[in-house]
Structure 1
Amino acid sequence: MDLAELMRTGDRNVLALNSPDALSASARLFLDCVAGWHGFTVEAASPSAERVLGAAMMLDPTIRGGRSSRTVVLDVNIASGTLVANAARRIRDTLQPEWLVAVVINSLTDADMRWTIEGVDSLFVCSAFSETCEGREPSQNGVAVHAL
C-alpha cells in the first residue's frame, strides 16, 4: 500500500463514522476490546475517537471519559502512532498513571507493527488490516484484538 492509499483508507474509516450503523459498530468493537477491564477512564486521541467514545458511553454508561491512574487512550486509526503518543504525553503531563493502554479500532497498514509508542504501556488494535481495508463489519462472533 502506498502513502496515498493509506491516507484514503484512514479518511474512509473516519467518514464511515457519519453512518449511525458504522459508529455503533466501532463503539461496540471498542467495548469488546476492553471487555473485562475495570476501573479505567478513556481519553480520546482525536476528534473521531471522541465520537466513538461518546457512542460507547451511550451503549455502556459505566465507561467514563477523562484521565485517571488507569487510562485507556482510544483512537480510530493507527499508522504511526503519533496521535496516540501525543495523547499519552498529555496524560503523563497531568498525572502519573498506574498503566496507560492504547486501543485503536483500525490499523492502516499490514506491516508487523511491533514497535512501541512513547508513554504507552500496551497497544491493542481491535480490527485487522484486511477487515478495515476491505470494508467488512466487525465479526458478530467476537473481536480480533492484536496486542502490539
Structure 2
Amino acid sequence: MDLVELMLAGDENVRAHDSSHNLADSARSFLGCVAGWDDFTVEAASPAAERVLGAAMMIDPTIRGGRSARTVVLDVNIASGTLVANAARRVREEVQSEWLIAVVINTLTDADMRWSIEGIDSLFVCGGSSNSGESHYGSQQSLSVHTL
C-alpha cells in the first residue's frame, strides 16, 4: 500500500461514520474490545474517535470520557501512532497513570513488533486489521499489540 492509498483508506474509514449504522458498528467494536475492563475513562485521540466515543457512551452509559489513572486512548485509525502518542501525552501530563491502553478500530498498516508508541502500555486493534484472529506482538519497550 503506498502513501496515497493509505491516506484514502484512512479517510474512507472516517467518512464511513457518516452512516449511523457504521458509527454504531465501530462503537460496538470498541465496547467489545473493552468488555470486562473496569473503572476506566476514555480519551479520544481524534475528532473521528470523539464521534465513536459519543456513540459508545449512548450504547453503554457506564462508559466515561476523560482522563484518569486508568485511561483508554481511542482512535479510529492507526498507521504511525502519532495521534495516539499525542493523546497519551495529554493524559500523562494531567494525571499519574496506573495504566494507559490504546484501542483502535482500524489499522492501516500491518501490526509490527517494532512499533513503539510513547506512553502506551498496550495497543488493541479491534477491527479492520489485515490479521485474523487474536495476535500478540511485543516490542523492546514492552508495548503489546493485540489484534482482535
* TM-score category, normalised to shorter length: 0.7 to 0.9
Give the structure 1 partner of residue 33 of structure 2. 33
Q: Aligned residues, how many?
A: 137
Pairing 1:1-148 to 2, within 5 Å after superposition: 1-110=1-110, 112-130=112-130, 146-147=135-136, 148=145
- TM-score for the superposition, normalised by structure 1: 0.87
Deviates more, 1:114-123 or 1:80-89: 114-123
Alignment RMSD (CA, Å):
1.7
| Structure 1 residues 54-103: Cα deviation after superposition (integer angstroms, max 9, x where no partner) | 00000000000000110000000000000000000011111111000000
Q: Following the alignment from structure 1 to structure 2, what is the Cα–Cα distance between the partners of residues 113 and 22?
A: 30
Match for 1:43: what amino acid?
A: E
- TM-score for the superposition, normalised by structure 2: 0.87
Q: Following the alignment from structure 2 to structure 1, what is the Cα–Cα distance between the partners of residues 53 and 125?
A: 16
Give the structure 2 partner of residue 134 of structure 1. none
Structure 2 residue ranges without an equivalent (≥5)? 137-144
Q: Following the alignment from structure 1 to structure 2, what is the Cα–Cα distance between the partners of residues 7 and 42?
A: 25
Sequence identity percentage: 72
Higher relative contact order (CA 8 A, sep 6+): 1
Runs of 4+ in structure 1 deviating by more than 2 angstroms, as ranges, are 110-114, 128-131, 143-147
